[in-house]
Structures are given as C-alpha cells and as structure tokens.
Amino acid sequence: MAAAVELRNITKRFPGVVANDGVDFEAAEGEVHALLGENGAGKSTLSNILTGLYHPDDGQIFIYGDLRSFGSPREALDAGIGMVHQHFRLVPPFTVAENVILGDHRGEGRHFMVHPRHIERRVAELGERYRIAVDPRARVWQLSLGEQQRVEILKALYREARILILDEPTAVLTPQEAESLFETLRVMAQEGRTVIFISHKLNEVAAVSDRVTVLRAGKNVATATTRETTPKSLASLMVGREVAEVERTAREEWLGGTVLEISNLSALGDRGSRALRDVSLRLRSGEILGIAGVAGNGQRELAEVVTGMRTPMEGSVTIDGKRLRRGDARSAIRARIAHVPEDRLHTGVAPSLSIASNSVLKTYRGSRFARGPLLRLRAIRENASSLIRHYDVRGARPELPARRLSGGNLQKIVLAREFDGQPRVLVVASPTRGLDVAAIETVHKHLRTAASGGVGVLLISEDLDEILALADRIAVMYEGEVVAELEAGEATVDEIGLLMAGGKVG
C-alpha cells in the first residue's frame, strides 16, 4: 500500500536560506505523524509546500502513490489535504457554518444560494462524531480560541480532508483541552485518516504521535517510531546537542520588599467588554510572579494597564509606594516599569525603523541621547552597537531595520533595551513564543538574572511549562479574574490546568 503522503527530496530556497534541503518525508494512512523541530527548522515551509502555498524548487510530492504538483491551496484541498494553521483563517463576524463553507467550491458552498440548515446539521454531526462539538450558529468572534480551532478542524473534515496537518495546535489550549484534541486526532487516525502534527513540544509528541520525524536546519535528521524514542533523545536530535535540564533554585533569600502593588483593577477590553475584574496582586523585589491562563482571559489587558498603555476603569497601580498616573505609558516608563510586550514586532519595536532607533525607543528624550530638540545620533548608534555586542544579537547592525531580525534576535533587542533602562519592575508577556530552544534558554537566563538583581518580574505566559520553570509564585487568570495564587512548589500542572479552564480545586 502506498503511503498517504510521500515527499521525496524536497528543496525550497528563500533568499539567503535553504528552508528545506532535500527532505524526505512519509506518513502512512491511519497514523498520527509528528513533525518535530525548532522554529526555523523548516516545518512550516514543508507544510506550506504540502498544502500548495509554496512551490518546491526541487523534489516530488506523492499523495496515495500519485505524483502531484499543487499550484494553489485549492488544488491541495481538492486532493484531500486540510490544514489547521497556527493563526486561524476565520472570518470573525460570520457564523461557524458560514466559515465552514467559505471557499468551498464543491459541496454546499458552490451554490449561489446557501442552505444554512443542511450545513448546520452536517457541522453538528461532524462535531459530535469527533467530540469537537461547536454550535454551528455561533459567530466566530464569540468563541474561545480553543473553539475556533475546532472550527478549523471541522472545516477540513467537512471538505473530506483525508490528510490533516495541524501547525502547533496546542499553543492556544489548556492542558485539558489539548488532551481532548489528542483524543480527536486519535479517532481520526483510527478512521484511516492521516494526521500530521507539527510541534516543538516533546511531551505532546510523545503523547499523541505514532511516529515522529525530526527536522533540523531544513533537513530530516530522523524518522522513528515514537515509542522507541525518549524526550531526551528527541531533544538532542532537534537541537543537535545535549540540552541542559532547567533547574529551579530557591530564591527566597533574595526576595525584597514589595515593588509593585496592583489594587482592585478593572478595565475594559478592546471590544468594550470587561476584560479585568477587580484584580489585586503584589510583587516583591527579586520575585518572578507567573500569570497563567488561556489566551484572552485578561492577561494582555493586565500587562497593558500596569504599563500605562490602557486606562483602567477602577483601581490603581503603585510602584515603590508611588501611584502611577492611569493610562499614561510615559509615567510608567519614568517609574522604571520595563515592558516586553506580547506582540514584539508591532508593539515592541517600530519594525521599519533601524535597530539603533528602536534601541532608544523609550530613552530618546533624555540627555543621554538628545541635546535639546536634537538627537545625538552618534551616541544612539554607539549604544546600539554595544547592546548588540553585549546581548549577542546575531546578524544585527545598528542601521538594519528591526523587522529583518529573526524572532529570537528581535526579542534580544527588546530585552536589551528594556534592561538598559535599569528597571524596577519587568512586565513580560509570552517572551519566548515562536523562539527556538537556544533563544528560549537565553531569554530565561536574562529573566532569572534580572530577578536575582532585585527586579520584580511579572511573567505572563500561556506556556505553562515556562511558568513552572521560572516563577516563584503563580497566579491563574480566568475571565479577567485572578482565580488562584499558588506557591510554585505546591502547584501541579493538572491543578493549574483546571483553574485555567475555570474549574475549582479542592
């Protein structure tokens, strides 16, 4: 029997990089096949080639034994290949059913007049069968990210995709939701579908996949049966060297007095609904306080209120006993609250401006970089060069536009700038999202160093492993409220996961 998917010798070059370098890949019918690799290893490029988004420079694609060449995603869809992207391709004001038939030119969607009943019934049936039920009439913007992902999967199933590719699907899920997704994937595999599961998380790969292919630097370095691997062996294949285990150390002796006090904060979100409800938190000098929660439960708004980017309705933010002006980012900067925002490319930097400009984004007013109304361009450039050297930002020159840096190097620039201001409090949101293992290690090291130097760190992350690895204390947010505060030692993943989903513990 021919494999469901067979890629032979796929090569794809982009200016300056070889994203895929002679990759062979094969996935059988009825298996969950994990595609493991660091960011930039070529996973996304490979899946984009398979779904017709890119055209390979070299190599062949066989689907169920037939040589195929996809000129567009539609052709790949017609061949039975469905994809669930990391960033969903949904139209928020449309209903679930409408999203499902969007762009479908063969089934119900090909008619000029649409019969919503049929589609709704079919979507409900599919949801039932695969345990991913979503109300077909709900509008997408009302759904949680986990539910939106279900819509994406339903979309693929509705189009009778026999090969389903999921790109980092658990990034937006609680551990429980992830477990239920795995369940769905197994059902699909039992039916003879092929699931290609892209991830850089070892435990997930072990939990869900039958076989695993590891990519590194655009090459296939190994394909193995998952049962015969260990997380450690996979990690060293993925990184190309041994990975040091993260060690937690008791930091109690460093903890100083309260630096940041958040009292009774309430704020509206972008849609005008309550995003924060009466949040109170206290952060000590030298402490890392982790804020856990599924994306969209008020964490972003919390970070924005604390850093003055969003005006709260009620409550106050106090640093070193001084109250900050509400909704005034400049006063937060003056109080030395540093901020590594979630969206580093459009909030953390001005992407088209040079690295030098971005390195003084908050300090250009002071006498260090300005004389009266004039900028001291030379001082700015020299400072940027020294930050680049000190933080080891590869491939960076002061005059290069910031958007030309990779995620990890961009994050280093943002961190370098924020530490340069000698902060009292550091608010970091999803600091390692999209970074490779080496960059994650670096970022974590910098955060620990900052904390041990007496900075209070508010670490907001959807990655529970990250919070468990770094935080001294963990606060869990659900629907805008802090539902629990736990000491790091006493919290288990299951407990936190349950709290993140709105459940109660004990």
Partner 1 sequence: MIRIERRLKQPRWLDVAVPLGSIVVAFVVMTVVLLATGHAPGQTFWRLIVTGFGSMFALNSTLVSATPLIFTGLCAAVAFRMQLFNIGGEGQLYMGAILGAAVGIALGNASGWLSVPAMIVAGIVGGAAFALIPGFLRAYLNTNEIITSLMLNYVAALVIDYLIFDSLSYWRDTSTPSAKVFPQGKTLPDAATWPVLHIGSLALPFGLLVGIAVAVLVWALYSRTRFGFEVQVIGDSPRAARYAGMRTRRKILAVMALSGAIAGLGGASQDGDFRHTLDPRGLTAAGYGYAGIVIAALARYNPFSVCLIAFLLGGLQNAGYALQGADFPSGLVGVLQGLILFCVLGGELLLRYRFTFDRRSRRVEAAA
Residues near partner 1, by CB under 8 A: 14-15, 55, 60, 67, 69, 71, 307-309, 328-333, 339, 341, 343, 346-353, 357, 361-362, 364-365, 370, 373-375, 377
Q: Dihedral of CA 137/140/144/146: which sign?
A: positive
Q: Nearer to partner 1 by C-beta: 128 or 328?
A: 328
- Tell the smallest beta-carbon distance from residue 374 to partner 1 (Å): 6
Residue 445: which residues within 8 A CB-CB, separation 6 or more?
none
Q: Nearer to partner 1 by C-beta: 206 or 361?
A: 361
- Tell the smallest beta-carbon distance from residue 405 to partner 1 (Å): 15
Q: Nearer to partner 1 by C-beta: 150 or 424?
A: 424
Write 429-433 long-range contacts (CB < 8 A, 24+). 429/299, 429/300, 429/303, 429/340, 429/341, 429/342, 429/460, 429/461, 430/342, 430/460, 430/461, 430/462, 430/463, 431/340, 431/459, 431/461, 432/461, 432/463, 432/466, 433/171, 433/342, 433/462, 433/463
Q: For the residues of 245-270, what is the DSSP string, one character each?
A: PP-----GGG--SEEEEEEEEEEE-T
- Tell the smallest beta-carbon distance from residue 303 to partner 1 (Å): 11
- Tell the smallest beta-carbon distance from residue 339 to partner 1 (Å): 7
Q: Dihedral of CA 171/175/177/182: which sign?
A: positive
- Identify the CA nearest to 130 among candidates 146, 150, 149: 150
- Tell the smallest beta-carbon distance from residue 164 to partner 1 (Å): 25
Q: Nearer to partner 1 by C-beta: 207 or 361?
A: 361
Separation CA 335–CA 456 (nearest Å): 13
Q: Are 123 and 146 in contact (CB under 8 A)?
A: no
Q: Nearer to partner 1 by C-beta: 311 or 452?
A: 311
- Tell the smallest beta-carbon distance from residue 69 to partner 1 (Å): 5
Q: Nearer to partner 1 by C-beta: 216 or 381?
A: 381
- Tell the smallest beta-carbon distance from residue 415 to partner 1 (Å): 15
> Residue 483, SS3?
strand
Instruction: Count Cα neighbours of 181 within 13 Å in the Cβ-side half-sphere.
Output: 29
Q: Nearer to partner 1 by C-beta: 30 or 351?
A: 351
Q: Nearer to partner 1 by C-beta: 52 or 497?
A: 52
Q: Percentage helix, strand, coil, to 5, in the chain?
A: 35, 25, 35
| Calculated CA dihedral for residues 292, 293, 295, 298, nearest 10 degrees | -90
- Tell the smallest beta-carbon distance from residue 336 to partner 1 (Å): 12
Q: Nearer to partner 1 by C-beta: 164 or 303?
A: 303
- Identify the CA nearest to 3 among candidates 46, 53, 65: 65
- Tell the smallest beta-carbon distance from residue 293 to partner 1 (Å): 22
H/E stretch holding 186 reads: helix 175-190
Q: Nearer to partner 1 by C-beta: 191 or 399?
A: 399
Separation CA 228–CA 224 (nearest Å): 7
Length of the chain as a residue count: 506
Residue 403: which residues within 8 A CB-CB, separation 6 or more?
345, 349, 351, 352
- Tell the smallest beta-carbon distance from residue 376 to partner 1 (Å): 10
Separation CA 352–CA 333 (nearest Å): 23
- Identify the CA nearest to 184 among candidates 243, 252, 129, 221: 129
Q: Nearer to partner 1 by C-beta: 270 or 314?
A: 270
> Residue 108, SS3?
helix
- Tell the smallest beta-carbon distance from residue 324 to partner 1 (Å): 12
